[in-house]
Amino acid sequence: MVMTIKRREFLITCGLATLATQIPPLNAQGKPSPNTICKPPRLQLGDTVGLIAPAGIVDAKDIEAAQQSFSQLGLKVKCGKHILDRYGYLAGKDADRAQDVNSMFSDRTIKAIIAMRGGWGCNRILPLLNYSLIRSHPKIIMGYSDITTLLLAINARSRVTTFHGPVATSTWNQFTVDYFKRILFNGEAVTMENLNSSEVRVETIAPGKARGKLVGGNLSVLSAMVGSPYLPSWNKSILFVEEIGEDVYRIDRMLTQLQTAGILNQIAGFIFGQCTNCSLGDEPSFTLMQVLQDHILPLNIPAWYGSMIGHIKDKFTLPIGVEVEINADVGTIGMLEAAVSVV
């Protein structure tokens, strides 16, 4: 009997039963709930943040630094059981990393879940997540880069708002913290606008304004998910992407993949944040802007390059699944609703 109970608890928290990921969430009457986005509760001072390592390897010193950062924000920290595990270049085996994600959602003391870092590995654990559990325990989950995979999958399968923003090892400077607090603590519907900086300039691809739900993340990670059942609807969405360390021809290849998959033809607006350390390569090349114009101009939608999104110190906190209005002439992203529940 004891072994049976333990096995059942393991399956519930770890989500290894494939069936659990396929069953739609049920309401109190045992009927499928409406297909609406669920907003997680807002953060408050004194809340506990769960730290996980769903992708690359984490060092103990990184955890210590993260604890200091969150302490300055008035938050407590609880680490995932397997956060310091190592398995090749991954922060533990797939089942263990998935268990940490599921356990954080089931733990009632945890109010938000933040990834320590990106890297690679989140795509491997998608079939092991318990999406029904996540739907029934909605919480803030945040990160960027490889964490894009978790954000999009949870938004698509659990219908919960997720957040593309700093990881625990990010630079928690004034700009980053300001958007983090206003969106996740205060529940404000903010307008995101670049700092006045020569380093991050808005370059309009096509002018105009557009409205739609905000969806996106790291371009290479997103491209690797095409064809899977873990992507949300693109219909009339605002797509944002960012990238690091890729030659321009690879950006071209990935955008071509989104185009041939029918994704670009569905979106209402496009934002390319930053392409950090992206080069022209050794062969004759287009510029990045020429590639963006080739793919985006024929869509006749508002679009720009240069938003403060990606592998940079100053970054927005972007709510995935929330309605926004963009202005490609000035490069702003205006939230039309709060991203968290303030009740």
pLDDT tens digits, residue range 28-66?
444 435 478 999 999 999 999 999 999 999 999 999 999
Asked if the structure places residue 17 within a domain, the reply is no
Domain that includes residue 56, residue range: 35-172
For the chain, what is the mean pLDDT?
91
Q: Looking at the structure, do residues 314 and 196 belong to the same domain, yes or no?
A: yes
Asked if the structure places residue 267 within a domain, the reply is yes
Q: Which of 170, 295, 311, 323 is catalytic?
A: 311
Tokens in use for 36?
């609406």
- 199 part of the active site: no
| Band (280; pLDDT cuts 50, 70, 90) | confident
Give the count of domains, the chain. Answer: 2
Between 298 and 195, the more confident residue is: 298
| Residue whose C-alpha is closest to residue 209's, from 330, 310, 322 | 330
**Residue 17: per-residue pLDDT:** 37
Q: Are 163 and 151 in contact (CB under 8 A)?
A: yes
Instruction: Report the CATH number at residue 322.
Output: 3.50.30.60
Which residues sit opposite 272 in a β-bridge? 241, 305
> Cα(66)–Cα(84) distance, rounded to whole angstroms?
14
> Cα(166)–Cα(104) distance, rounded to whole angstroms?
18
pLDDT tens string 234-258: 999 999 999 999 999 999 999 999 9
Q: Looking at the structure, do residues 254 and 297 belong to the same domain, yes or no?
A: yes
Q: Which of 103, 242, 243, 246 is catalytic?
A: 242
Q: Which of 103, 145, 170, 307 is catalytic?
A: 145
For a pLDDT cut of 90, what percent of the chain falls above it? Answer: 85
Number of other residues whose CB lies within 10 A of the CB of residue 202: 17
Q: Looking at the structure, do residues 197 and 107 belong to the same domain, yes or no?
A: no
Tell me the residue type at 45. L
Q: Looking at the structure, do residues 118 and 88 belong to the same domain, yes or no?
A: yes
Asked if the structure places residue 185 within a domain, the reply is no
pLDDT tens string 196-232: 766 678 999 999 999 999 999 999 999 999 999 999 9
Asked if the structure places residue 130 within a domain, the reply is yes
pLDDT tens string 161-188: 999 999 999 999 999 999 999 999 999 9
Instruction: Report the CATH number at residue 132.
Output: 3.40.50.10740
Contact partners, residue 4, CB within 8 Å, separation at least 6: none
Tokens in use for 269?
């607006």
Asked if the structure places residue 125 within a domain, the reply is yes
Asked if the structure places residue 341 within a domain, the reply is no
- 311 part of the active site: yes
Q: Enter the pTM of the model.
A: 0.90
Q: Looking at the structure, do residues 198 and 274 belong to the same domain, yes or no?
A: yes
Grouping H, G, I as helix, E, B as strand and the rest as coil, residue 7 is helix
| Residue whose C-alpha is closest to residue 49's, from 1, 99, 115 | 115
Question: What is the Cα Rg of the chain in Å?
Answer: 20
